Structure 1
């Protein structure tokens, strides 16, 4: 009888526990599901943010998730001067004037008016949107391109951007054969093919005057050293790098390291603001740590890295960081 009573008592305790739990469950003040459902429906109706480009994955201009990048990247700065937009702010003009070795800066507006009677000055590359996927190769001049066999990869891009001397003949397997845009200044000028855009980086008003002269009279033959009197290039494809953009690259991206950025860094910034995918080749030292050009036989010195006016190491670190956060793809070469 004792064992039976214990079993009955146990059953009663279980039954009472179930009843108590059920009463508590249905008496708990759960929120009305209608407002929650309404809220969820509202979220479903909100449009998704528009795609910035048609490239798979992400676009260069995507700012979300990259605070370091978003603090520096400003899409309102356009790399090129145009007929409609070549006036400089006082702040930029004063900064740009300090870069010059001549005293021709006051002629800037007059020279620009003459310049755009010769060259198109069109508003190019302002076609970003969900239907565009522009791939660009920025090809530096480092000796790490030797034996890299990057030529086919480079030439497969929509735009191929080179700078300064940058010969391709005889180096096609490593550096490619195509050039759509070639950045230069008078002292680094070379002749170009008819399908290549000459992109002048003007460090002084005399550089702009040289460009006019190089396509007309050939009278400007000297800056701080001898320069080409005339140049072979397609006049209809000439573009002018903006001093406003030069200052933006120096201030926003380099935190004012160096007196002004190098042609290599200007080329990278150019691509970063007109392209949706950017691949970088020929930047940095070779695998032995040598800094030299790919067409040079010697590996000595790396004089182009130690010019005294560029923050070479700082520029390279910025470039590497852009690759680290997947804003560019960096090919390290051999």
Structure 2
């Protein structure tokens, strides 16, 4: 009887152990299966908020409201390279329409020259759950004066500046670091060797100018005088994609104005290459004045850029926690 009792107890223990191991196996399977879903299907919209990036908050979080989701397109080509340079008829027609004159320049020919000179890469393709790239977009508003934002701005991984906005003499308020400067020929300035030149090509002539400043230096005029050359590192040259410009115009500016302002375009560009975006130097001063921090010239919201609508959109992005808008102290 004792032997029989022992046998029964062993069988009972064996069943318990088998049940425990089976349950554990199922739980482990479900855990790793869910992890695989987060990793493998992130690009298809199944990923959780955690999978979007490694920051506390992520621009590309899948937990977006309808307003943002209807506008934000993570698949849009934002920088030009040889493999994505072909433009469909609608985009080419719209982009050429910005140029205000009959165009006789062969776009494909110009692109071929561009990428024989400059990096032909798929930039910023490293997005993922382990990346936390912080970016400061620094505009040129007078509200930066006496803000003491300089040290905060310089803490960011990327610091994107716009057109001619200087740092020298204003470091306390605007910082000294610049990783990317978005410009076009008429707003060009010299750069140091640590800064990327990001061209905003309103027209094919802008691309030709970019080629010229590193080669023949023969282009000195567009609709106004432009520098024949500037200090810049050709290995750090990037070119915004015409399709991206149209996308910002259609989806974010909703067609207000002729085309997006450089500042607004830079901000939306940052939403596509960064995980956290802090915005400085946009908007009026506390007294309602619209002027640059580096001179007394007044800026205005012309019909060319639909500035009122851009300003409203920037504030709504702040309300949606997609950017943090720092308004300065003046």
Short-chain TM bin: 0.7 to 0.9
Asked if 1:226 corresponds to 2:213, the answer is no
Distance 2:100 2:69 in 1: 35
Structure 1 pair 178–84 and aligned structure 2 pair: CA distance change class (3 A): same
Conservation of the 8 A alpha-carbon contact between 2:283 and 2:311: yes
Q: Residues 81-96 of structure 1: matches in 2 within 5 Å?
A: 81-96=80-95
Alignment-derived partner of residue 315 in structure 1: 310
Distance 1:65 1:107 in 2: 41
Structure 1 pair 268–105 and aligned structure 2 pair: CA distance change class (3 A): farther
For residue 79 of structure 1, report the CA deviation from its aligned partner. Answer: 1.3
Structure 1 pair 89–105 and aligned structure 2 pair: CA distance change class (3 A): farther
Unaligned runs of 5+ in 1: 1-40
Distance 1:212 1:231 in 2: 12
Alignment-derived partner of residue 287 in structure 2: 288
Alignment-derived partner of residue 24 in structure 2: none
Structure 1 pair 64–233 and aligned structure 2 pair: CA distance change class (3 A): same
Asked if 1:64 corresponds to 2:68, the answer is no
For residue 252 of structure 1, report the CA deviation from its aligned partner. Answer: 0.7
For residue 105 of structure 1, report the CA deviation from its aligned partner. Answer: 5.7
Q: Residues 41-190 of structure 1: matches in 2 within 5 Å?
A: 47=34, 49=38, 50=47, 51-56=51-56, 58-104=57-103, 106-190=105-189
Distance 1:225 1:258 in 2: 21
Alignment-derived partner of residue 300 in structure 2: 305
Conservation of the 8 A alpha-carbon contact between 1:81 and 1:241: yes
Distance 2:302 2:121 in 1: 34
Structure 1 residues 38-70: Cα deviation after superposition (integer angstroms, max 9, x where no partner): xxx8xx7672644111112x2101132411100
Alignment-derived partner of residue 17 in structure 1: none
Distance 1:233 1:225 in 2: 21
1:324 paired residue among 319, 322, 328:
319
Conservation of the 8 A alpha-carbon contact between 1:102 and 1:206: no
Distance 2:260 2:108 in 1: 24
Using the TM superposition, name which of 240-249 and 80-89 deviates more. Answer: 80-89
Distance 2:184 2:232 in 1: 14
Asked if 1:333 corresponds to 2:328, the answer is yes
| Aligned residues: CA RMSD | 1.9
Conservation of the 8 A alpha-carbon contact between 1:214 and 1:229: yes
Distance 2:70 2:104 in 1: 31
For residue 199 of structure 1, give the secondary structure of its aligned residue in structure 2: strand
Asked if 1:251 corresponds to 2:250, the answer is yes
Distance 1:204 1:218 in 2: 18
Structure 1 residues 172-224: Cα deviation after superposition (integer angstroms, max 9, x where no partner): 00000000000000000001000000000001111111111111111110100
For residue 305 of structure 1, give the secondary structure of its aligned residue in structure 2: coil
Structure 1 residues 154-187: Cα deviation after superposition (integer angstroms, max 9, x where no partner): 0000000001111100000000000000000000
Q: Residues 267-286 of structure 1: matches in 2 within 5 Å?
A: 267-286=266-285
Alignment-derived partner of residue 210 in structure 1: 209
Conservation of the 8 A alpha-carbon contact between 1:163 and 1:182: yes
Conservation of the 8 A alpha-carbon contact between 2:52 and 2:62: no
Conservation of the 8 A alpha-carbon contact between 1:105 and 1:204: no
Structure 1 residues 11-43: Cα deviation after superposition (integer angstroms, max 9, x where no partner): xxxxxxxxxxxxxxxxxxxxxxxxxxxxxx8xx
Distance 2:308 2:301 in 1: 9
For residue 101 of structure 1, report the CA deviation from its aligned partner. Answer: 3.0
> What is the aligned residue count?
291
Runs of 4+ in 1 over 2 A off after TM superposition: 101-106, 304-308
Distance 1:124 1:69 in 2: 24
Distance 1:53 1:96 in 2: 33
